[in-house]
Every structure is written in C-alpha cells, then in structure tokens.
Amino acid sequence: MALAFDEYGRPFIILKEQEQKTRLSGLEAQKANISAGRAVSRILRTSLGPKGMDKMLQSPDGDVTITNDGATILEQMDVDNQIAKLMVELSRSQDYEIGDGTTGVVVMAGALLEQAERLLERGIHPIRIAEGYEMASRIAVEHLERIAQKFDFGPTNIEPLVQTCMTTLSSKIVNRCKRALAEISVKAVLSVADLERKDVNLDLIKVEGKVGGKLEDTELIYGITVDKDMSHPQMPKQIEDAKIAILTCPFEPPKPKTKHKVDIDTVEKFQTLRQQEQKYFDDMVQKCKDVGATLVICQWGFDDEANHLLMHQNLPAVRWVGGVELELIAIATGGRIVPRFQELTPEKLGRAGLVREKSFGTTKDKMLYIEHCANSRAVTIFIRGGNKMMIEETKRSIHDALCVARNLIRNNFIVYGGGAAEISCSIAVEAAADKYPGVEQYAIRAFADALDAVPVALAENSGLQPIETLSAVNSQQIKENNPHFGIDCNDVGTNDMCEQNVFETLIGKQQQILLATQVVKMILKIDDVISPSDY
C-alpha cells in the first residue's frame, strides 16, 4: 500500500518502517474512530441531568475525585486514544467558552457519530454526511433563536437569573441547597458585573473553600479572604476603617540584584554598617506609619526585628500573601501595589471598612477577612462542606453557575431545558430535511435523530421509559406548537418546563450544537489512521 514505483519501475518507500506501524484506512478507519468517540460519550451519558450519576476518578497519585462535571471527568481520565482526546478537547472548549453543558456536548457528539455510522454503512460518502450535518446544525441554531425568549432582569429583580442557575446546579451533588448557592452565585456575578458593557470579569470572584461545617454555611463575602494570619501573634485581630499598604518589597535588608560585596576591614566600618542596618528597619516601618497606613500586607517575609517594630508601632501586618491575592486586594480596596518603601504615599493606600481574623475548628486554622472595601467589586464565595471532595465538587458547581449567570448578562436570551430545546430543534430539522434534494437529506434527518439523544438520556437517567416519554413529549410539542415541553426528570407532574422553571442559556445551547457538529465533521473526514504499533 505504501509502496510506490518511480518512472524506472524501482520501488521506493513512502512510509518509513512500515511493518512497525498499524494502519487503518477507509471505512474501517472511520468506524474505529466513531466507536472510540462513542465510547467516550457513553461514559458521560449516565451523568446527564438532575438524576445523573457521579463518577469516581482516582488520579495517578491516588487522590480521589468525585464529580459529574463532564469537563472534569474527561480531563482526569487517562485518555490514550487520539479520537477520544478530541472529545476531551471538545468538552474543554465548551467549558472555556460557556462553562456549562460540558456533558451535554459530548453526549450530542456521540449521538451524531452513532447516526453517521449507520449512514456510512449505507454507502453515503462521509463528506456528504458532514455537509448534511453542517446544514442541519445551521437550521437548528436558527430555530433556537426563534424559540428563545428574552428575559428581563435587573439588579433588583434577580429571580430569573437565580432560576437559571438553579437548573445548572440541580444536576450536581449540591442540589440539596441549590437555592442558596444559586442566589450566592447570582449576587456574586451581579456585584462584579458591568451591566452597561454587558461584561463580567469572573477573575474578580474568588472561590475559596475550607473543609468543615456544612454546605449551608457557604457564604458570599463582599470582600476578600486570605488564608493567612497576622505576622505577630499579638497584633490586633480586628481593624476597622483600615488603610492598607500593599507592598511587594520585603521587610528585610535590601539585597541588590547586581553582584556586589561590602568588605568590612575596620572597626569603624563595622559600626557604621550596623547603625545603617538599624536605621533601615526604623525607616521602613516609619515610612509605612507616616503615610497613615493601619495595616500592611506584604508579599514577602519579615525579619524578626521588623516584625517587632511593626508590632511596636501598632501596625498590624500580614506576610507571605500570594501575588494573585495581592492583586485582588489591590482591586478591592482601591489601593496600589507599591514595590518600594520610598514610593509609599497616602493616595496609594487601599481602604477597607473591616479587617478581621477568624479561626475555624479545633486546629489552628485562621483566615483573614477583608470586608467593606472601597471598591466593592471583588467578592469571595466561601464554601464549607463535609469533606475535601465535597468542597472541590462544590467549587466546580459554583463555577458552572457563575458562568451561566455571566452568559445571561452577556446575552439575556434563554431556551427551555429538560431536553425541550433539543426536541423542538429535532422537529424543526426533521421538517426542514424534506426540502433538501440529494443525499444530504438523509444526513439532516440523522441529525434530527441525534438531537433526540439528549432527552432520551435524560429520561433514561431519571428512570423513565425513554422511548415512550420522548414520543409523548414530541407529539405534545407538535400538537400544541409549544416548545416548552421537556422531560419531567424530577417527577414534578408537568412536562411544561416554563412552569418547572427549567431554563438554559441560548448561547450555551447554540454553542453545544455548533461545537459537537464541528468535531463530528472533523472525525468523519479522517479516512486513514497510521499509528506506531506496540512493541
């Protein structure tokens, strides 16, 4: 196969060491790829929806993660297959772009691949299938826009946002107190959001977790928490109306970066150096005091002498604060990060209404709360929970909820969840399919079938009869021409997602369909897989 002949009839080798490589080509390659892609999506399928199950992942180091977030599962899985890696990438890009629906997108791609396999068996060319999928995805996205509803919210009316976040959270382990967490997420996003520009900088929301307590104790702090305590045990634990000097220079003797040495050869020099050193410490502390700072936050460590001088001057200080936290503190308090003592001025100080130290549990665990900041636009979500895995999973869930809230602020159109949007799209695509002449028609129809995979998986996971339920909802949608009907996962008694308040963001859904189609197209176009065989 990989052997060709030149014009004189001599053979030459195209593929080096060919006998050591395995090679799949044509239909076989496509089928192998499809089955790999489907295998990945099968893993995630059971995690979909409010009754979805979790996966337990053990890392190479033996740490255990329990999650049902698609992106996390795939990331932690030791995937070796190239096509499977593509699916992992797919879920990750959904995570980066939208933050939610990472499971759904993989399930969708898996369904598309499954349908494609059938078409391939019928002898339809993969490129035609890909083109058909492309057209169908365009129809679906347009249809989504049509059925999407604009919904209004404002700083005072956050209820719709909370409802949408609750939909996201309901599939996580934290659904016990989804209401509280959704409210926290929405409030956090709103407090950092720039409603005029419709932009949200999620970096301003810090999600911190500490093991212990219970999930209900999770709180939103309008300020920053730092996992540090005061440098000197006897400094005051609470400061009101703090003026904060944010320093990136250590309270230590200077060490010039250039190579240098100071030679001491006489007693006088020794004396002067000593005095200089003492003065230096005094100066440092005095400068902080002079500009009126009442709290010093420093990125580096303190010398014992400096520490005591600070204590002595009644100037509480925190040392070894990380760079990211330092920046957040600077943003929150409106201060400037000062790299040199000489550059300290009163204007560069940050302001905070209250700084306090809080201790937890029986171990000596302390955290510093900086609250009532001048610029209230940095917030912290402080999570408590029974164990480490719970905290990690809550962090991921909150991240999803934050992303959803952000997406709504960027684009306030919603579609209905519970599979309603997919079913409605499927109907629309099915109807549109008949208008296309040519082989693509089959591909478009297959796309419509694939769209049904999400509601089917939802129904399966909820313990309902998948086919019966789906066909019932399908006919109901067509009969009443109402795209609000979905799968009643929680056994509430109504199929109307509008009544159940199950919403998803429009851009999230659109992105899911587009991304899944793209990846499937890419996989379909591969017709030759060359890989080094095992030794």
Partner 1 sequence: MAIEKILKDDASEEKGERARMASFVGAIAITDLVKTTLGPKGMDKILQSTGRGNEVTVTNDGATILKSLHIDNPAAKVLIDISKVQDDEVGDGTTSVVVLAGELLREAEKLVAAKIHPMTIISGYRMAAECARNALLQRVVDNKENAEKFKSDLMKIAMTTLSSKILSQDKEHFAQLAVDAVMRLKGSTNLEAIQIIKKPGGSLKDSFLDEGFILDKKIGLGQPKRIENAKILVANTAMDTDKVKIYGARVCVDSMSKVAEIEGAEKEKMREKVKKILGHGINCFVNRQLIYNFPEELFADAGILAIEHADFDGIERLALVTGGEIASTFDNPESVKLGHCKLIEEIMIGEDKLIHFSGVEMGQACTIVLRGASHHVLDEAERSLHDALCVLSQTVNDTRVLLGGGWPEMVMAKEVDELARKTPGKKSHAIEAFSRALVAIPTIIADNAGLDSADLVAKLRAEHHKEGCNAGIDVISGSVGDMAELGISEAFKVKQAVLLSATEAAEMILRVDEIITCAPRKREDRM
80 binds partner 1 (CB under 8 A): yes
340 binds partner 1 (CB under 8 A): no
Which residues between 456 and 485 bind partner 1 (CB under 8 A)?
Answer: 463
- Interface with partner 1 (CB under 8 A), residue total 88
For residue 36, what are its two tokens? 């790999």
Amino acid at 486: G
Residues whose CB falls within 8 Å of the CB of residue 153, separated by 6 or more in sequence, listed in order: 159, 160, 161, 408, 412
Handedness of CA 485, 488, 489, 490 (dihedral sign): positive
Name which of 97 and 252 has its Cβ closer to partner 1.
252
Choose which of 116, 181, 239, 311 interacts with partner 1 (CB under 8 A): 311
Here's the x/- map for partner 1, 396-435, by CB under 8 A: it reads as ----------------------------------------
Amino acid at 271: Q
Name which of 465 and 475 has its Cβ closer to partner 1.
465
Under a CB-based contact definition with an 8 Å cutoff, are residues 289 and 238 in contact? no
Name which of 18 and 276 has its Cβ closer to partner 1.
276
**DSSP 3-state of 308:** helix
57 binds partner 1 (CB under 8 A): yes
Closest CA relative to residue 453, chosen from 495, 425, 479: 425
Name which of 2 and 264 has its Cβ closer to partner 1.
264
Closest CA relative to residue 212, chosen from 106, 374, 358, 315: 358
199 binds partner 1 (CB under 8 A): no
The interface region with partner 1, picked from 71-79, 348-356, 448-456, 505-513 by CB under 8 A, is: 71-79
Name which of 323 and 361 has its Cβ closer to partner 1.
361
Choose which of 70, 71, 72, 84 interacts with partner 1 (CB under 8 A): 84
Choose which of 60, 123, 437, 493 interacts with partner 1 (CB under 8 A): 60
77 binds partner 1 (CB under 8 A): yes
Residues whose CB falls within 8 Å of the CB of residue 424, separated by 6 or more in sequence, listed in order: 143, 147, 477, 483
362 binds partner 1 (CB under 8 A): yes
Active site residues: 69, 102-103, 400
Closest CA relative to residue 371, chosen from 350, 358, 357, 354: 354
Q: How far apart are CA 69 and CA 98, in angstroms?
A: 13
The interface region with partner 1, picked from 153-161, 381-389, 466-474, 516-524 by CB under 8 A, is: 381-389
Under a CB-based contact definition with an 8 Å cutoff, are residues 127 and 531 in contact? no
- The least CB distance from residue 58 to partner 1, in Å, is 4
346 binds partner 1 (CB under 8 A): no
**Backbone torsion region of residue 77, taken as left when φ is above 0, otherwise alpha when ψ lies between -120 and 50, otherwise beta:** beta
Choose which of 75, 131, 365, 527 interacts with partner 1 (CB under 8 A): 365
- The least CB distance from residue 343 to partner 1, in Å, is 21
Which residues between 229 and 258 bind partner 1 (CB under 8 A)?
Answer: 232-234, 252-256
Closest CA relative to residue 380, chosen from 242, 154, 210: 210
**DSSP 3-state of 303:** coil
Name which of 2 and 53 has its Cβ closer to partner 1.
53
